Amino acid sequence: MTGRREVVVVGSGFAGSLIARVLAVQGYDVLLLERGTHPRFAIGESSTPLANLSLERLAARYGLRDCYELAAHGRWVENHPTVRRGLKRGFTFYRHHPRAIAGDARLAEERLLVAASPTDHIADSHWLRADVDHHFVRQATDAGVDYRDRVEVTEARIADDGVEIRARRDAATFEIRADFVIDASGPGGFLARQLSIPSGLGRTRTRSSIVFSHFEGVRLASEVEPHFPPGPYPDDWAAVHHLIDEGWMYSLRFDHGVTSAGFVLSPRGTASLPPEARTADDKWRSLLERYPTIAAAFGDARPTMPMMQRDRIQHRLTRAAGKRWVLLPHAYAFVDPLFSTGIAWSLRAVERLGLSFEAVRGARRLPDEADLQPYEQMLAREADQIDRMVAGAYESMAHFDLFAAQAMIYFATVSYAEVRQRFVADREPHPAWSGFLGVGDEVCDSLPRASLRRLLRITRGEGREGSRAERDAFASWVQRSIAPRNVAGLADASRHNLYPVDLDVLVDRHALLGMARDQLVACLPALRGVAPERDRSIALAIGPTMASARNAGPTLNAVGSGQP
């Protein structure tokens, strides 16, 4: 481990393992360091269509077949049945009111379902991170990455001629020299401390805390509330969001019967909890007591691990890249689990970094500060955008109608981005460089800021629900604003907040994508994903790799065994 390495990646979450693997496939000499061992628990489980799109592009470009297989629930189950996951057909939202009893008619009225896929086979998945991250680190070693676990990186010094890294394993400390370091260490952000990168948290408006665990025995919505009108998919096979006065709760059901759930609380919500509710268990119980409609599903559920809590979950730095170093998104910034942005954003960044290295690999080999500027600038704009979108959603939780309207901005933005990236064959610049969550889009870029301003006028920042006329005016403004990007038939009162994937609407709105009707119809099969062999020209362009040469020799370490 102590020789000089080209690239050291710190942290083997899925993002660290994937970037390490992408670089190994390109022929870089990569050392991946992890302070823990796999399998291990990690939070951040609900994936989205944009995440799948990145996985498919990574699969095509670098020949990573498993990424293609994991990008749709049906392919995942067929090809990787032991990597546990949950079926996610869309986003389900309910508004609960304190002390409302089960069977309350308002729950059916304050219900929003937005399908992300038309069938189970090509649906998204919740990632059981213990399994998924373990899978990706195994694949990284197979691709030639030198992976070492139980190694905590403690120091890094960036000099003109390289990076000096200090690490510790048990009682031993040692030094590694590298040409370049990638910080994939998540919110610990070890480089932030080493380089004294100032915090940028002041820019982040969203404030929330969390109480969470995994549970067995959570009842289905269909058991608890059998009176709902049928939706576009079964309510539970989704990222389920329970909106409450104090914030919201997520509930993600895995296929093996375990559910990941957590209350995400606004500062007002946290302050309203009884002062004696200090532990995570106390807070959990106190919230279930206030919301019998949630307790009906969770009352008999058993946590499979201790309940956990974290105070403010947001973090943000002011730099994401420099000479000989770069941060992955989760090391740089995190806003909130709302709208499940983390996995998709991280994968987009893996793609961009892969491209940045590719661009220089024949010559200088390593991207310099100027090469990484677009990456850094994009991440900063995107972190702001995620924050505005989520902050607006928290503001809109004052009333379900406001929330349902605000959510349309998110869904219009991501559905347009997905369809455009799948159908419109812009190869230059690479679609990975298109802005996440509408950044740089002439319609969507400004919407989260404008909607937050409007919402604050209604709520006064005090959670007021505004008048009926104000709420209707907000919903009409959203409907008009998203119209040029509304390929999914959103914000349509006749849908009663139940949105299927409607291909007829998509075909009718072909002009929004700048396509003729026939052209769009011909593209529809691409919604199922593009198998990597169809894009073989790209994978082959990478050429013979150092990874394949290294693979001829014995593997260097046993992943997950805890052995070096």
Binding site for ligand FAD (CB under 6 A): 10-16, 33-36, 42-46, 152-153, 184-186, 188, 190, 210, 313, 328, 330, 334, 337, 340-343, 346
Q: How far apart are CA 136 and CA 488, in angstroms?
A: 33
The residue (of 41 and 477) whose beta carbon lies closer to ligand FAD is 41
Q: How far apart are CA 239 and CA 235, in angstroms?
A: 9
Tokens 């389900």 -> residue: 92
What's the closest the beta carbon of residue 331 comes to ligand FAD, in angstroms? 7
Residues in CB range of 21: below 8 A, 6 or more apart: 62, 64, 136, 139, 140, 143, 145
Residue 226 has φ and ψ, to the nearest 5°, of -75, 0
The residue (of 132 and 506) whose beta carbon lies closer to ligand FAD is 132
Return the structure tokens found at 271.
């302050």
Neighbours of 247 (CB within 10 A): 23
What's the closest the beta carbon of residue 434 comes to ligand FAD, in angstroms? 18
Return the structure tokens found at 306.
């201790």
DSSP 178-223: EEEEEE--GGG-HHHHHTTPPB-GGG-----EEEEEEEE-PPPHHH
Would you mind telling me the total number of residues written for the chain in this entry? Answer: 564
The residue (of 133 and 401) whose beta carbon lies closer to ligand FAD is 133
Pairing of β 162-169 and β 4-10 = unpaired
What's the closest the beta carbon of residue 346 comes to ligand FAD, in angstroms? 5
**DSSP type of residue 379:** H
The residue (of 299 and 560) whose beta carbon lies closer to ligand FAD is 560
What's the closest the beta carbon of residue 551 comes to ligand FAD, in angstroms? 24
What's the closest the beta carbon of residue 497 comes to ligand FAD, in angstroms? 22
The residue (of 381 and 496) whose beta carbon lies closer to ligand FAD is 381
Q: How far apart are CA 225 and CA 96, in angstroms?
A: 13
What's the closest the beta carbon of residue 344 comes to ligand FAD, in angstroms? 6
The residue (of 47 and 481) whose beta carbon lies closer to ligand FAD is 47
The residue (of 264 and 491) whose beta carbon lies closer to ligand FAD is 264
Return the structure tokens found at 125.
């998945």
What's the closest the beta carbon of residue 13 comes to ligand FAD, in angstroms? 2
Q: How far apart are CA 485 and CA 457, in angstroms?
A: 25
